[in-house]
Chains A and B, each alone.
Chain A
Amino acid sequence: MLEAIDVSLVNWSRAQFALTAMYHWIFVPLTLGISFIVAFMETIYVKTGNPEWKKITKFWMTLFGINFAIGVATGIILEFEFGTNWSNYSWFVGDIFGAPLAIEGILAFFMESTFIAIMFFGWKKVSKKVHLAATWLTAIGANLSALWILVANAWMQSPVGMQFNPETARNEMVSFWEVLFSPMAVEKFLHTTSSGFVLAAIFVIGISAWFILKKREIVFARKSIAVAAVFGFLSSIYVIFTGDSSARTIATHQPMKFAAFEGLYNGSERAGLIALGIMSTTDTDESNQNLMDFNMKLEIPNILSYMAYMDWNAFVPGINDLIDGNEKYGIMSAHEKIERGKTAILKLKEFKEAKEAGNTELAESIKAEFQTKDFQENYFKYFGYGYITDPHVLIPSVPLSFYSFHIMVFLGMYFILFFFLSFLFVIRGKLEKHRKFLKLAIWTIPLAYIASQCGWIVAEVGRQPWVIQDLMPTMAAVTKISTSAVQVTFWLFAAIFTVLLIAEVKIMMRQIKIGPKVKEEGGHN
């Protein structure tokens, strides 16, 4: 283990990053989805020439604008934190992160600032078709910005396309395309953006339901719900497919995360999926406080094996298999991985000492060894394990992962039904009669945010203790600064972001109350 690392420093640094990321993620998914909804609405306007659709487009565009403006650049604080609180990590990955984040910055700045300006200022300045193109390009630009951030995050979950250079202590990119098109990156992008579409569709339906309950703007609300329900239904079906393929990738690249969010302690062939479960609060293993059993569980046989490996009979490793190892199924124990990780760290230390002693020949031979396939696959692959002393540290919070995953999945299923009913009621013209459903639609808005946040909890808590899967645990990534400094910035952020959120909600609520009869901007007809 690293010498003199304060656990509370690691925990506060993690809490600070989690807080910033979670607040940032309040703003992002709505932007990703509502930009496309607005584009669909404007397309209908351009196709039909019906001014009602223009009014609808402009109203939702306003809410998009408020959300975008309040949320824009909040993610930059995460980059500040990399440099201040996670300096070892940001140096270790610098080259890999540099390219996607630079592309994101350029895309975000040029595409979004240009096309958003046309969206808001250009109603009377450019032709209908050019304006529509700007709206579509804004939506595409916003989602492309998300792509690069998600590619960077996916690399942390499944590092590929790089070569570690002991000379610089950095991972250097050897294949940009491998980083960009890794299964983890592709699935993360598709799953995350489509979940944003679902959230935005729920937002549009919920706000429209409020108008109907207030007996205001009925035609506007019905049309908005029709577009959002179709978009939301298709997106939520797509979310299931992308979630399913993500689960398979996780089962292969992050089996511990997979076992944690499924609450699978002991692996088995024909493993069952726990559809519903309440975890016991009594620890069953005193040596590991995290291990708990279920008080109640509803298990569907064989499904987990199929979900993980597309084979009803496949063996799915559990937490205990991943810690203790399982020779029969070729699963290496945590102890073995720790030993290999220590060997890799020792080799790095030898390199450093050889360099300091001026022994260029030895330093060069160790550097060459780092580049061999054998060393990479058998030792460097487990580099991060070398910092672990207690294998149980490798188990993430199972209850948090399990409940977050199941809440996300259940809400996802509910959203499909919700979109279906929304569409059914709107095409039958019976929406106004279902007042309970309309109230439910309003309350579904926070549920969409909960599902979205749960998704990130599964992704990030489930991969603990890793900052970079298998290569760098949080304790090796953190900067040795004072814990109190991190605590101060944690509370500072909590205050600033809460004020921002309140500002957004207040400005948005005011615009919603004004309704779609908002004064035309830029003298638009």
Chain B
Amino acid sequence: MSRPNLLVRTGRFYVEGFRNMSGWGKQVWIVILVKLFIMFFILKLFFFPNFLKTNFDTDEQRSEHVLDNLTNTK
């Protein structure tokens, strides 16, 4: 039987690794997934919009806004 290609072998390597993972490994993965969900789907979306990307459409407008801020001195 011919040896599976590198991609398949890499895939199997990960699948078997995850399947045989110990208790602490599974716990840690749960923490990672919950953390990433909170960070990217809650914090990033609802609490941390990129101010310049959200409020301005073009880089030119963003530059103008920052220039306004930087030169708006007493």
Contacts and interface: CB of A to CB of B under 8 A. Distances in A.
Interface of A: 1-3, 62, 65-66, 69-70, 72-74, 76-77, 80-81, 83-84, 87-88, 90-92, 117, 120-122, 125, 166-170, 342, 345, 348-349, 352, 386-387, 476, 479-481, 485, 488-489, 492, 496, 500, 503, 507, 510-511, 518-519, 521-523
Contacts of B20: 121, 521-523
Contacts of A522: 16-17, 20
Nearest to A389: B74
B1 interface: no
Chief secondary structure at chain B's binding surface: helix
User: How many of chain B's residues touch chain A, expressed as a range?
Assistant: 35 or more
A69 B66 contact: no
Interface string B36-74: 101100011001111111000001001110111111111
A345 B31 contact: no
A3 B63 CA distance: 19
Nearest to B47: A489
Interface string B3-28: 00000000001101110111011011
- Which 3 residue pairs of A and B lie closest in terms of their CB atoms, listed nearest first? A121-B17, A83-B50, A80-B48
B47 to A, nearest CB: 5
A83 B70 contact: no
Interface of B: 13-14, 16-18, 20-22, 24-25, 27-29, 31-32, 35-36, 38-39, 43-44, 47-53, 59, 62-64, 66-74
Contact of A121 (B14, B64, B67, B69): B14
Contacts of B51: 83-84, 87, 479, 481
6 contacts: A1-B74, A74-B35, A80-B44, A87-B52, A117-B13, A479-B51
A83 B48 contact: yes
Contacts of B36: 73
A169 B70 contact: yes
Contacts of B63: 91, 167-170
A492 B43 contact: yes
A348 B66 CA distance: 12
A500 B17 contact: no
